[in-house]
């Protein structure tokens, strides 16, 4: 909700600064989203008088002015405005000022060879109006040399976020009440004497829907002149983001914004017969003020006459009966509508409005007569006319809500000691009526606070006004001894993997669990349909993610578009699949996306090096090892998925069916779908597929005992068919003699001269670890024979 500082001070007597007011609003739970201070935009603009005006020597449409800025020495300014003349008092932008309309910074410059020390300004350039035909003309008595922001009266505007449980603060008066209760001033009394009717109301007013509209009040005002509203009212409405329309419309909007009380004015000439609050008929239509046609049903409340519907009750008026410049007689309506009915109607019609936002939160049912008096008084003073007697149909639910309260509860629940006298002062300042008896307090809740329903709500009111910052930070009690661990194995795994991924230089991302359907379909499993939400947060985010990779790819694109040169992103989270019975199946995954440059260009490296599939494989193996997977037993197999490049991707499996991870380069079609240029590598670990460690509950790490004898390394070079994966050879060699071979590593892959066609040369470094005694030649020969026999299973032969 937006409102100007001067509007707030119309209801609140205070000397507090803008910063103090904003700070106090935040402290009492009314969060300030922003502050617009027009004085900042008008900095550098000054009231100035034109002393002389002469024709520019080289331009027929320009004039050379000498301008008095109040500093003594006149300034020379070149101006093209047709109304620039000697004696004119206007606004001068000095060098260094920034023109609000276009952001141009003013400076001394030569215009057609003549020096100009600033710019004379129009209302459009200062965003004070639409006039651009000439420069601003101020009264002759305007103080020359004064900052234009001071002369114009630039009024700061506060934008406050009102939570749904605070309908009382949907009006400026309610916000002023809260500030006064918090000690930031005094709430000014606001009373309007009732306006006596000069004649009986000529229109029958009634409510035929006591559930949806318990109370419907109205009166006729004849002989009004519906011109423009006063400047002070227009200024307040503009500050609140409302466009001034006409006096009658502006008055109803003003009362709604000032007191949180919507009302409506009908052109009496456009009504036919009795005006009734009733249920709509199924299929009945109305053209609302937004010029859209809405089809109604019998669950909705409307305001209608004998001709049809004129108002979607509590939400938006109809275009047919609205006031115009020719309106002379009006029917003024103010009513109380059921909040739940208003909310349900607004959702069904997908129609939002300022009135709906207030009615569905709950307005003060006791404000009907007062609101009608305020509206009538403003109309008579601004538009003239004569008012009829008031017609009251039905009655609003005004039974007071009485809460029994013990002041000691404030310290028990709120954690802060507030004296009973101070609690009483706070509650009375907020409009509550506490009655102190021997049995405790009986507090009457004001009608504008439907959110207060019990003693804890009273405690909340006292504590937020007294000061939440006054609550002392007290640690929770802790039992003696060592606390038992509470983290589950899955939580420990997530923590360990987060640290490992971050230690490898990746940045953690947290993306939405919801995706656009088109992006989710790219990563959907062929045999499992997407999980589509029936009531999503938005139509563009209604598919639950089947993989973490789409969110990371979108994050990578946003960062690359903003100039990021190298990206290493990871995320741990749930992916959502459909189970066989149709229910949601959540599975824990870890995804990594590598994009941009792996290493920047340099004198030693030359061009920048991009990420490749082997980088993705390295990430997958390192993180799987950290997760406790038996990486030395994993098989590298294809079929990573259609999202990956078929020749530059693979899966890591424990056996032919258990897939622990997939990695590789993004398929070009997938990259285009996510609007990414350049190579991107990605990894997805299926953490739920990693087998648990046997005896994990009693597992204890053994003490480190290095072997007594030095390891022995032997190199083997094999001729292997081209189609044989190097990893398969490494795995067979390492398992050839488990008692002696502790490691095997590929260090060379050669294809070329000296290697038969259709084969490749793979060189392995095999590490042998003697245990009780050093190896003899026959021991090494025996190991060699076992290595050769194991390699022969793949058709590999030792090179000569």
Nearest-angstrom CA–CA distance, 557 and 675: 7
Q: Which residues of 667-698 are buried (b: 16+ CB within 10 A; e: fewer)?
A: beebbebbebeebbbbbbbbbebbeeeeeeee
- Helices and strands per DSSP (H, E), number in the chain: 20, 41
306 is in an annotated binding site: no
What is the 8-class DSSP label of residue 168?
Answer: G
The answer to whether 357 and 260 are in contact (CB under 8 A) is: no
Length of the chain in terms of residues written:
800
What is the 8-class DSSP label of residue 268?
Answer: G
Beta partners for 206? 276
The answer to whether 185 and 367 are in contact (CB under 8 A) is: no
Nearest-angstrom CA–CA distance, 428 and 180: 11
User: What are the structure tokens assigned to 565, written together?
Assistant: 């040169």
Strand 507-508 relative to strand 566-578, pairing: parallel
What is the 8-class DSSP label of residue 636?
Answer: E
211 is in an annotated binding site: no
284 is in an annotated binding site: no
Nearest-angstrom CA–CA distance, 221 and 708: 107
Quickly list DSSP for 258-302: HHS---EEEEGGG--S-EEEEEPPTT-EEEBTTS-EEE--TTSEE
User: What are the structure tokens assigned to 161, written together?
Assistant: 């976020």
Q: Which is nearest to 263 in space by CA: 201, 218, 232, 329?
A: 218
Nearest-angstrom CA–CA distance, 327 and 320: 13
Q: For the chain, how big is the Rg over CA atoms in Å? A: 39
The answer to whether 260 and 358 are in contact (CB under 8 A) is: yes
SS3 358: helix
* Beta sheet of 31-36, edge-to-edge order: 2-4, 157-161, 31-36
What is the 8-class DSSP label of residue 702?
Answer: P
Site of tokens 């021997």? 438
The CA distances from residue 442 to 183, 366, 445, 465, in Å, are 24, 20, 10, 20
Quickly list DSSP for 362-427: ---GGGHHHHHHHHHHHHHHHH--EE---EEEE------EEEEE-TTHHHHHHSS---HHHHHHHH
User: What are the structure tokens assigned to 484, written together?
Assistant: 């038992």
The answer to whether 469 and 425 are in contact (CB under 8 A) is: no
End-to-end distance of the chain based on CA atoms, in angstroms?
Answer: 85
The CA distances from residue 362 to 216, 245, 312, 430, 754, in Å, are 16, 27, 17, 17, 89
451 is in an annotated binding site: yes
Q: Which is nearest to 759 in space by CA: 723, 722, 796, 786?
A: 722
Q: What is the largest CA-CA distance in the chain?
A: 126
What is the 8-class DSSP label of residue 322?
Answer: -
Query: Which segments are annotated as binding site for Mg(2+)?
Result: 451, 457, 460-461
Query: Which segments are annotated as binding site?
Result: 451, 457, 460-461
């Amino acid at each position: 909700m937006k409102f100007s500082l001067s509007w707030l001070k119309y209801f609140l007597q205070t000397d507090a600064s803008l910063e103090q007011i904003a700070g106090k609003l935040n402290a009492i739970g009314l969060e300030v989203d922003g502050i617009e201070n027009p004085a900042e935009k008008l900095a550098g603009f000054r009231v100035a008088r034109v002393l002389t005006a002469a024709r520019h020597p080289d331009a027929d449409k320009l004039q050379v002015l000498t301008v008095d800025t109040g500093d003594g020495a006149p300034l020379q300014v070149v101006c093209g405005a047709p109304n620039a003349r000697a004696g004119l008092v206007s606004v001068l932008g000095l060098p260094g000022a920034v023109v609000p309309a276009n952001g141009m910074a003013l400076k001394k410059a030569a215009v057609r060879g003549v020096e100009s020390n600033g710019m004379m300004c129009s209302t459009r350039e200062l965003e004070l109006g639409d006039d651009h035909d000439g420069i601003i003309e101020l009264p002759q008595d305007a103080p020359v040399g004064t900052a234009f922001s001071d002369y114009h009266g630039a009024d700061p505007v506060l934008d406050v976020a009102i939570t749904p449980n605070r309908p009382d603060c949907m009006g400026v008066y309610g916000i002023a009440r809260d500030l006064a209760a918090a000690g930031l001033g005094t709430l000014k009394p606001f009373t309007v004497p009732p306006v006596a009717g000069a004649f009986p109301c000529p229109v029958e007013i009634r409510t035929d829907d006591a559930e949806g509209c318990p109370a419907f009040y109205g009166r006729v005002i004849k002989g009004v002149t519906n011109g423009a509203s006063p400047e002070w009212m227009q200024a307040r409405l503009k500050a609140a983001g409302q466009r001034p329309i006409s006096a009658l419309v502006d008055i109803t909007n003003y009362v709604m914004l000032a007191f949180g009380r919507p009302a409506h004015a009908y052109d009496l000439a456009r009504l036919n017969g009795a005006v009734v609050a009733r249920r709509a008929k199924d299929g009945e239509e109305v053209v609302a003020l937004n010029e859209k046609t809405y089809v109604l049903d019998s669950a909705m409340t409307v305001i209608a006459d004998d001709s049809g519907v004129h108002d979607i009750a509590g939400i938006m008026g109809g275009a047919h009966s609205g006031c115009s410049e020719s309106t002379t007689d009006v029917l003024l309506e103010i009513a109380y509508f059921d909040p739940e009915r208003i909310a349900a109607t607004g959702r069904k019609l997908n129609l939002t409005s300022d009135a709906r936002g207030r009615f569905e939160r709950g307005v003060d049912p006791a404000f009907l007569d007062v609101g009608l008096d305020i509206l009538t008084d403003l109309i008579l003073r601004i538009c003239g006319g004569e008012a009829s007697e008031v017609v009251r149909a039905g009655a609003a639910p005004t039974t007071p809500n009485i809460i029994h309260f013990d002041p000691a509860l404030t310290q028990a629940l709120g954690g802060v000691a507030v004296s009973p006298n101070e609690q009483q002062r706070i509650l009375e300042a907020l409009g509550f009526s506490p009655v102190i008896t021997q049995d405790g307090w009986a507090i009457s809740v004001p009608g504008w606070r439907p959110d207060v329903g019990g003693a804890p709500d009273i405690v909340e009111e006292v504590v937020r006004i007294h000061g939440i910052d006054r609550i002392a930070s007290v640690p929770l009690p802790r039992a003696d001894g060592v606390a038992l661990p509470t983290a589950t194995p899955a939580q420990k795994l997530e923590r360990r993997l987060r640290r490992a991924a971050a230690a490898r230089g990746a940045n953690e991302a947290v993306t939405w669990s919801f995706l656009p359907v088109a992006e989710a379909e790219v990563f959907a499993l062929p045999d499992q349909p997407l999980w589509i939400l029936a009531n999503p947060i938005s139509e563009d985010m209604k598919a639950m993610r089947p993989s973490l990779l789409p969110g990371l790819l979108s994050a990578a694109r946003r960062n690359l578009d903003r100039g990021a040169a190298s990206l290493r992103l990871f995320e741990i989270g749930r992916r959502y699949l459909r189970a066989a019975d149709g229910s949601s199946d959540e599975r824990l995954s870890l995804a990594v996306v590598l994009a941009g440059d792996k290493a920047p260009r340099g004198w030693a490296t030359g061009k920048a090096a991009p990420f490749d599939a082997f980088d993705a494989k390295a990430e997958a193996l390192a993180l799987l090892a950290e997760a406790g997977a038996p990486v030395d037993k994993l098989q590298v197999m294809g079929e990573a998925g259609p999202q990956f490049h078929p020749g530059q991707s693979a899966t890591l499996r424990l056996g032919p069916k258990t897939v622990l991870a997939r990695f590789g380069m993004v398929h070009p079609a997938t990259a285009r779908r996510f609007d990414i240029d350049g190579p991107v590598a990605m990894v997805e670990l299926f953490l739920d597929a990693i087998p648990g460690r046997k005896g994990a509950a009693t597992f204890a790490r053994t003490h480190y005992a290095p072997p007594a004898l030095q390891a022995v390394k032997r190199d083997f070079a094999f001729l292997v068919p081209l189609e044989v994966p190097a990893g398969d050879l490494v795995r067979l060699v390492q398992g050839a003699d488990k008692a002696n071979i502790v490691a095997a590593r590929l260090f060379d892959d050669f294809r070329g001269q000296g290697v038969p066609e259709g084969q490749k040369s793979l060189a392995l470094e095999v590490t042998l670890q003697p245990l009780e005694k050093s190896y003899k030649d026959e021991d090494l020969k025996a190991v060699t024979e076992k290595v050769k026999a194991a390699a022969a299973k793949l058709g590999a032969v030792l090179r000569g």
